[in-house]
Structure 1
Amino acid sequence: MSSFAANGVTSGSAAASAGWSGVGRTGAAEPSPYLTSAPLQTGDTVRLIAPSGPTDEESLLRAIAQLESWGLHVVPGENIRARHPRVTYLAGTDRQRRDDLVAAWCDPDTDAVIALRGGFGAMRLLDGIDFELMREHMWRRDGRPKLLTGSSDITALHQAWEHHLGVATLFCPMVGNDPFKNSAVVPTEVASWLFEPWGGRELGFPAEEAAETSAAPAGAETARPLSRAQTLVPGRAKGRLGGGNLSLVAAGMGSPELADVRQRRETRGPSILMLEDVDEELYRLDNLLVQLVRGGWFASADAVVLGSWEDCTKVHEVEALVIDYLGDTGIPIVSEMGFGHDPDAPSVPLGVDVTLDAPAGERPRLWVDPAANTTAESEARP
């Protein structure tokens, strides 16, 4: 743990040095302080909640033990063990799950809100949340914004936090799910995003020459899966990283959080959009993509990054489908970056500026821009 904590400078002065002074209602945020200061350090308080599907007691206790092993103070949500009385795939009623989410975020002692698992149900919570209240209570005691983490169904919350609060969030494997139990690399990789600054870090699986995890604690398995990333449409792009699970993004079309998708590039600048999914047939993926195309979701995209497609169909079929819809736009498109439901999935910070370099016939690279190199200074799309 000490190797992470040594890098976890999280004082108020660190936030000030990062230039953080607040966020705009439109989501045009200043660079996240987590580019230059680690989100968490030993002794910080994290609130563990179940905003989507239920979990079993063994998974819950394992998740708490994992977070505590990193030196964090864990406060489980009051309703984290609840079950919906009629809908078996929900962890408690909408009110119970929403109450836990709001209480966790508004607690003045909270440093991060961590989703236990995904499943289904997070989007059901959004219409009942008072986001003015959430904005009033979004600050940690050190002056930096609180952090939300999770993936899969938690995409709905990432979209809401980006739209209503304008803060960066972490799309990462969740402590109550199998990757934290079965993967030799996921716990260490997630911890590195929690206990180290984000600026300048490369995203996705490493190339062969960089396959060691430098921040791994003593005795941990450090060999990571090697990159399978490939360039489908070459080019170079820079923009704010957004997106997440394809099914959840598509389900959000027409919602307040995505009402301005056609104007986002004009109002917020360029974007690089990420998509992944799990357990979807090819025709379903086609239906979801056409929904995004017709709804204008790709209008702000300067590049598209594809993650994992676990239990969907063959990857080359997904790639062909995406090229069929977006190949003529001329924007860079890359595949197999691993984010999402891959058993060893890497983490992705959303709401930060990134650069994609996708040469023809070579492995594409995607990295988080340093704080001084953000979309605020970027030029318009060629």
Structure 2
Amino acid sequence: MSGPPLSPTSGPPLLRPGDRVAVVSPAGPVDPGLLDAGLALLRTWDLDAEPAPHARDTHPELPYLAGTDADRAHDLTRAWLDPDVAGVLCARGGYGSLRAVDLVDWAAVGAHRKVFAGSSDITALHTRFHAAGHATWFGPMIGTRAFVEDTAAREHLRRALFTGVTGWRGTGRTPGTARGAAFGGNLSLLFDTPPPAGAVVLLEDVDEEPYRLDRMLTGMRRTGWFDDVAALVLGSWTGCGNAAPVLADRFGDLGVPVVADVPFGHCAGQLTLPLGVSVEVDGHTGVVTVVP
């Protein structure tokens, strides 16, 4: 049985009232009205929320991108290195993070610890933050309906950013317990980025037919992607048809604890979960606990 996060405290860096946050668009272009509404809601949390210089851009020739790759990467780097900015929140997913990720100055970014939140296509950035030793938040994005119109999802994000999360519940699918660093996000962004050895992998996706999930997971299995995984935590599979049989087939013989039906990803009332922190998975009870 899925449910809300367990009582808060541990995880990535936290925000405080009065903090300044930058909203960036590392992937697809954002709806200006939704971005304005999202910024206004952040300000009701007593945050000094401002869009990055190119947050409202659209690429002149590739309209599925929020401006040029260099500008998107520069906005993220600039915000991260600004000593007055306590957190960097993503406006939207879509597509584009993979094009910008290698243009971010990760050597400079790695030296500063801040709040970072986003999901979906932003998975490509989460994996790089993880490699740089940063814990991050996987949750709804500021210029989307998942934040502006979904009160429950927005409240989960607010509580996570200000007070943390110590755990969450799903449905135990494969028994056993394991502990490791939480890693993952959107399945389609992870196929060529293997997890660290002993990781607890969080996976979700949207609008992928079961055969496409099968193709991605089979390809990952063939490359040994899951060989050193400690446990799996599965989120929402909205628009993926009946995904349960293919997930059971592709994960059932891995010999690791599996927890499913955790409401994170592309779903109503989505949770905000920490990545890059140590967690313990109980595949019998379906409880995942952040380990201090």
Q: TM-score, normalised by structure 1?
A: 0.71
Q: Which residue of 1 aligns with 2:175?
A: 234
Rounded Cα–Cα distance in structure 2 between residues aligned with 1:74 and 1:109: 12
Residue from 174, 182, 188 that aligns with 2:149: 182
Question: Structure 1 residue runs of 4+, over 4 Å off?
Answer: none
Rounded Cα–Cα distance in structure 1 between residues aligned with 2:258 and 2:11: 29
SS in 1 for 2:26: coil
SS in 2 for 1:108: coil
**2:292 paired with 1:367:** no
Q: Which residue of 2 aligns with 1:202?
A: 167
Moved more, 323-332 or 107-116: 323-332
Residue from 86, 89, 94 that aligns with 2:69: 94
- Does the CA contact (< 8 Å) of 2:233 and 2:262 recur in 1? yes
Pairing 1:160-179 to 2, within 5 Å after superposition: 160-163=128-131, 165-179=132-146
User: How many aligned positions are there?
Assistant: 285
Q: Which residue of 2 aligns with 1:111?
A: 86
- Does the CA contact (< 8 Å) of 1:338 and 1:346 recur in 2? yes
Rounded Cα–Cα distance in structure 1 between residues aligned with 2:206 and 2:12: 33
Residue from 35, 39, 42 that aligns with 1:64: 39
Rounded Cα–Cα distance in structure 2 between residues aligned with 1:135 and 1:101: 13
Q: Deviations over 1:137-189 (max 9, x none)?
A: x1xxxxxx1121000000000001111x2110000111211122332311111
SS in 1 for 2:180: strand
Q: Structure 2 vs 1, CA of residues 284 and 72 (structure 1 numbering), >3 Å: closer, same or farther? A: same
Residue from 263, 276, 283 that aligns with 1:351: 276
Structure 2 unmatched runs, 5+: 1-7
- Does the CA contact (< 8 Å) of 1:59 and 1:177 recur in 2? yes
Q: Structure 2 vs 1, CA of residues 37 and 342 (structure 1 numbering), >3 Å: closer, same or farther? A: closer
Rounded Cα–Cα distance in structure 1 between residues aligned with 2:35 and 2:253: 47
Rg larger for:
1
C-alpha RMSD of matched pairs (Å): 1.8
Pairing 1:263-282 to 2, within 5 Å after superposition: 264-265=196-197, 270-282=198-210
Q: Structure 2 vs 1, CA of residues 36 and 230 (structure 1 numbering), >3 Å: closer, same or farther? A: closer
Displacement of 1:330 after TM fit? 1.5
Q: Which residue of 1 aligns with 2:253?
A: 328
Q: TM-score, normalised by structure 2?
A: 0.92
- Does the CA contact (< 8 Å) of 1:271 and 1:303 recur in 2? yes
Structure 1 unmatched runs, 5+: 1-7, 9-33, 139-144, 205-228, 372-382
Displacement of 1:37 after TM fit? 8.8
- Does the CA contact (< 8 Å) of 2:87 and 2:114 recur in 1? yes
- Does the CA contact (< 8 Å) of 1:319 and 1:335 recur in 2? no
Quick one: which amino acid aligns to residue 128 of structure 1?
L
- Does the CA contact (< 8 Å) of 1:203 and 1:347 recur in 2? no
